[in-house]
Structure 1
């Protein structure tokens, strides 16, 4: 399959295209629901192809997601770029960096906790 038909009718459904455009726009399902004036469950149903939006919501959605209505319906026309494969090494590095930040945060909290315990212990030793 070429990059051109990643979101095409043979490869993707309306819900797939909608979810892809929403993610490309950097919106969560809840954010899109709020902007369209619908419940998050409605967005989920649309993305899972269990129901379809009405024309007015479809028009609003295409504007919010910066894609054409035709692209949402058929996969043809103006839509987002196909997803690019992530570099496995950069994903691993990002995860390691996040893990390291979390560990440093925990170490800082543990050091503060140890200092409080030490202070209480000294107070108790002076009283006794």
Structure 2
């Protein structure tokens, strides 16, 4: 026999994500932005269509102010995260992702500039 508390607790990862997001008063779009994913990705997680990878779970737990044990399995309290090391790790992960995006953007900008320069050079020599 289950207790009333167990019956009220969300059973799936997606339900726990949605429950905590609502507790925090965040929209799907805002939580997705904070977690560094698209709105569609977060929606898929909440619908249990897909599940976040382990590095995203760590980030999600930090952003959602909960512990990863509750997020993964529903065990324990859905209380604010008290592990600063976990929060630091989640923030470092986000920093790494942001740096990678900046690197990719810089590479794309350099390639575009090279193409523009080549086209301008051909136009000048053909005139």
1:43 matched residue in structure 2: 42
How many residues align? The count is 77
Partner of 1:2: 4
RMSD between aligned residues: 1.5
Following the alignment from structure 1 to structure 2, what is the Cα–Cα distance between the partners of residues 4 and 47?
20
Which runs of 5 or more residues in structure 2 are unaligned?
A: 80-127
Distance 1:72 1:13 in 2: 9
- Give the TM-score of the pair, scaled to structure 1: 0.55
Larger radius of gyration: 1
**Match in the other structure for 2:52:** 53
Tell me what 2:62 maps to.
63
Q: Which of the pair has the greater relative contact order for Cα pairs under 8 Å at 6+ separation?
A: 1
Is residue 13 from structure 1 mapped to residue 27 from structure 2 by the alignment? no
Alignment of 1:24-35 (within 5 A): 24-35=23-34
